[in-house]
């Protein structure tokens, strides 16, 4: 921190206003959230984030949660436990929480059954049941067999998620 202050003091010319520089730096850290979060103008009920669409009613909550955690990390340099990033409760059939990126631990994309049902109720689609048992996923000391598959249309390509009965989020395997 001292090195940063010394560098700022040395790099600052006499005609610069220190108060204005602080205001400019704070402005760079702030973010305005547009009340109309929908990026799909043809369907204002959908908020399209980087990995999947989310109902517009939850879009502002997702962005605000990310902004809050980003600012907290910037100020404290602490990394909150992963459960701090869950917006509400465990996975249910009522609210689709989105899709998390999996860097390859599972080697296949999976979705918890309750969240697959929440997805299909929000965006349509069906769980394809002829594929029951085509996958057995191991999580910690437990395992779960596939209850079917769910195909989700992404901008790049359609993705297949194996639906399982476990307490995990949608995991998109990279």
Q: Helix, strand, coil shares of the chain as percentages rounded to 5? A: 35, 20, 45
Query: Residue 135: inside a domain, yes or no?
Result: yes
pLDDT for 33 equals: 47
CB distance 100 to 107 below 8 Å = no
**Is 42 in the same domain as 98?**
no
Nearest to 86 by CA among 103, 72, 104, 100: 100
Query: Residue 22: inside a domain, yes or no?
Result: yes
Nearest to 53 by CA among 164, 126, 155, 146: 155
pLDDT reading at 27 higher than 70: no
pLDDT for 150 equals: 92
**Is 106 in the same domain as 156?**
yes
Model confidence, pTM: 0.48
Confidence of residue 19 (pLDDT cuts 50, 70, 90): confident
Domain around 104: 91-173
Query: Residue 111: inside a domain, yes or no?
Result: yes
Work out the average pLDDT over 126-150. Answer: 81
Number of domains in the chain: 2
Query: Residue 2: inside a domain, yes or no?
Result: no
């Amino acid at each position: 921190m001292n090195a940063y202050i010394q560098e700022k003091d040395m790099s600052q010319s006499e005609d610069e206003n220190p108060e204005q520089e602080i205001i400019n730096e704070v402005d760079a850290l702030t973010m305005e959230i547009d009340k109309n979060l929908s990026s799909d103008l043809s369907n204002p009920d959908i908020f399209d984030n980087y990995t999947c669409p989310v109902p517009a009613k939850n879009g502002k909550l997702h962005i605000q949660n990310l902004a809050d955690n980003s600012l907290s990390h910037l100020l404290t340099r602490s990394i909150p436990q992963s459960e701090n990033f869950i917006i509400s409760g465990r996975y249910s059939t009522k609210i689709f929480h989105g899709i998390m990126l999996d860097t390859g631990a599972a080697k296949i994309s999976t979705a918890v059954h309750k969240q697959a049902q929440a997805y299909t109720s929000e965006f349509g689609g069906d769980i394809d049941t002829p594929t029951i048992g085509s996958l057995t996923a191991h999580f910690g000391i437990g395992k779960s067999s596939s209850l079917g598959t769910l195909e989700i249309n992404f901008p790049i390509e359609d993705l297949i998620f194996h639906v399982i009965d476990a307490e995990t989020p949608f995991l998109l395997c990279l």
